[in-house]
Amino acid sequence: MFMCLGVPARIEELEGDRATVSLEGTRRRVSVALTPDVKVGDYVLVHAGYAVAVVDEESARETIRLIEEAYGTLEEV
């Protein structure tokens, strides 16, 4: 119920403050009342039926790049 789902959902259709999203291969209806500027094709995080944040793809790529380039270069213990 209160659990935070870490997997982003893709906005497929928008109708007012309701949206159809695809999430891990399934489609479901969520509310976008808390993320009013969302567009079709955006990725959102869903919490208890509500999109609570739009996921920024560029930031995601940057984080992955950072880990690939800057981490794990220390010698193994």
Partner 1 sequence: MELWKRFKDPALAQKLLQELKGLCQGSSQRPTLMEVCGTHTVALSRTGLREVLSPYLDLRSGPGCPVCVTDDSDIDLMAEVARQPGVIVATYGDMLRVPGSYGTLLDLKAAGARVQLVYSALDALELARENPRDTVVMLGVGFETTAPVAALAVQRAASEGISNFLMLSLHKTIPNALRALLAENSRIDGLILPGHVSAIIGEEPYRFIAEESGVPAVITGFEAVDMLLGIVELVRLIVAGRPEVLNAYRRVVSPDGNPRARALLEEAFRPVAARWRGLGSIPDSGLALAEPFAAYDALQALGLRRPEARPPRRGCRCGEVLRGLIEPAECGLFAKACTPHSPVGPCMVSSEGACAAHYTYGRNG
Nearer to partner 1, 40 or 48 (CB): 48
Q: Which parts of 34-63 interact with partner 1 (CB under 8 A)?
A: 34-36, 43, 45, 47-50, 52-53, 55-57, 59-63
Q: How is residue 16 written in tokens?
A: 């007012």
Nearer to partner 1, 13 or 28 (CB): 28
List the end-to-end C-alpha distance of the chain, in Å, as a whole number.
Answer: 41
Largest CA distance in the chain: 55
Nearer to partner 1, 13 or 56 (CB): 56
Distance CA 20, CA 9 (A): 9
16 binds partner 1 (CB under 8 A): no
Residues 6+ apart with CB under 8 A from 22: 9, 10, 12
Q: Name the residues that contact partner 1, by CB under 8 A.
A: 1-8, 31, 33-36, 43, 45, 47-50, 52-53, 55-57, 59-64, 67-68, 71-77
